[in-house]
Structure 1
Amino acid sequence: MDRANLGDRDGELLLADSFRVSVRDGRPSVRGLTRHLGRLTAGAVRFGVDDGERLAFLGRAREEIAAFGAGFPRLEIRAARGGADASSSASAPFLALVLRELPELGETVDLRSIRREAPPLANLKGPLVSAYRELNLEAGAEALLCDPDGSAREGTTTALLAWDGDTLIRSASLDRVQSVTEALVCDIAAAQRRPITAAALTPALLSGAELWAVNALHGIRAVRSLDGRVLPAGDRNRLAEFRAALDERWEPLRIR
């Protein structure tokens, strides 16, 4: 069950950053923590959250997250309440923390395409959470968000990566969230000197490529089916290798 620990949740959600916490060697740790905090800090600057307030809040959040242990917490920036006077502390954007238990983890995922123009704020993580939840219910699977021509941007909770032979392909679309886990996977590929390119994930490409859906919760999941069509098994050795390398990206929970 979700439990809000710091800040209230009355204001409109402007930005959210979720990450999985795992207790490793007795210490709460997060994969790619530095990148997650960098994304949240950029959002705080964008929405005018006071820097001192941000640092104080994150210090308190660290204690709450560490005490909670393994889970899937969400750091939020919410809209001002109480009027349009942006100079008033009561109306400034504010930070909130939601502590959530770790849901069941999976190694595969089914995707179903939904074609429509990218909505406003599609490149921000958070404002479309409720709308994307509805899309998943409509799709009966995780919705794969596609442009009208069928080119995939991202899943509602995941970034999509495709393998064409030994080349890793990431979506070139700007109308999507910049995924922390995607960046970590690309770092791993670069360290292995594998070719990486950004391109349109067209229907033709998706029909023949090995597909991975990646996010902070599950790490790397193989796409089992797309639009009801079961996909052939990919390179299991490569998948295992990347999962192992991703598990080397855990960082002790230090929020500052």
Structure 2
Amino acid sequence: MPHQPTAWFAWRPGSHLAPADAPRAPLLAADSFLVQDGRARFLAGHRARFQAACRAAGAGPGLDVAGFLDQAADRLPRTGAWFPRIELLGGHRPVLGLRLRPAPARTTQVRLSPWYGPDPRTCPRRKGPDLDALAALRAHAREKGADDYLLTAPGGWGSEATSATLLWWDGEQLCLPAPRLPVLPGITAAWITARATRLGVPLAPRPARPADLSGHEVWLVNALHGIRPVTAWPHTPYRAGPAPRAAAWQQAWQDAARPLPAPQPAARP
């Protein structure tokens, strides 16, 4: 597929999405998902999370977030691989927009290091405001020979990576960070835990420090890569455990893609 540039579309409430230059304004809320040849995963979950984020950011009903999301879905390409981002930008007049971007390279495994420095997040339970700070921290991890950092809460408890939810296995139990920890509600993680429940897999929310994860099957999960097992803990004494379950669960995630909704017919003038 030839290189496709990023494009931005602004929402005109009660009207349509139109190509525009993205305003220089704070990112108040955002959500992203993978689209491959007209298929995507868990759009209802991404839609609901974005609507909740917009409400938390103070977006009023005049923006018509639901109407924007309907038209954004119609704008998504039906060929190629894309990683669109729906956005609420702040400023004097908040605006909704669709950032249409080609999908970046995807990987099947990850090298993870703990981050014990200051937490760069200001809104850990709302996606959007902290994306630039988290991207900078992730770039720092790569400079140090890892792919991502595991953020830690006071006491050294692991919470999440800069762009993915942390999950791990302890025997037959699928473990996830304790609910009291500052973690973004992950859409892919929600699908995994729902599937685990259907399969009779016990779920175990619990606090864990990075040392507690040594030797275990550890996953980072998100909407771009799906499920990636941790295969190394650079610059630590921790050992990456074998990941015998990851391939089957990743295949189930691949199979969960569904066709995008058919575009709505344009309104007559």
TM-score by length of 2: 0.82
Residue 10 (structure 1) aligned to one of 14, 21, 24: 24
Secondary structure of the residue that 2:52 maps to in structure 1?
helix
The number of residue pairs the alignment matches comes to 241
The equivalent of 1:84 in structure 2 is none
Q: How far apart are 1:191 and its partner, in Å?
A: 1.3
Secondary structure of the residue that 2:214 maps to in structure 1?
helix
Question: 1:77 and 1:167, CA in 2 relative to 1: closer, same or farther beyond 3 A?
Answer: same
Does 1:37 pair with 2:54? no
Q: How far apart are 1:148 and its partner, in Å?
A: 3.9
The equivalent of 1:111 in structure 2 is 112
Question: 1:134 and 1:112, CA in 2 relative to 1: closer, same or farther beyond 3 A?
Answer: same
Which runs of 5 or more residues in structure 2 are unaligned?
A: 12-21, 265-269
The structure where helix makes up a greater share of residues is 1
Code of the aligned partner of 1:43: A
TM-score by length of 1: 0.85
The equivalent of 2:67 in structure 1 is 56
Which runs of 5 or more residues in structure 1 are unaligned?
A: 82-90
Code of the aligned partner of 2:112: L
- Alpha carbons 1:188, 1:242 under 8 Å: kept: no
Range moving further from structure 2, 131-140 or 174-183: 131-140
The equivalent of 1:124 in structure 2 is 126
Q: 1:181 & 1:253 partners in 2: Cα distance?
A: 17
Q: How far apart are 1:57 and its partner, in Å?
A: 1.8
Q: Deviations over 1:197-239 (max 9, x none)?
A: 1111223321232100000000000111123357445242x22
Code of the aligned partner of 2:177: S
Q: Deviations over 1:61-107 (max 9, x none)?
A: 122213564200000111132xxxxxxxxx2x321111111111110
Q: How far apart are 1:45 and its partner, in Å?
A: 2.5
Across the aligned residues of Structure 1 and Structure 2, the Cα RMSD in angstroms comes to: 2.2
Q: How far apart are 1:150 and its partner, in Å?
A: 2.1
Q: 2:228 & 2:87 partners in 1: Cα distance?
A: 26
- Alpha carbons 1:22, 1:29 under 8 Å: kept: yes
Question: 1:192 and 1:124, CA in 2 relative to 1: closer, same or farther beyond 3 A?
Answer: same
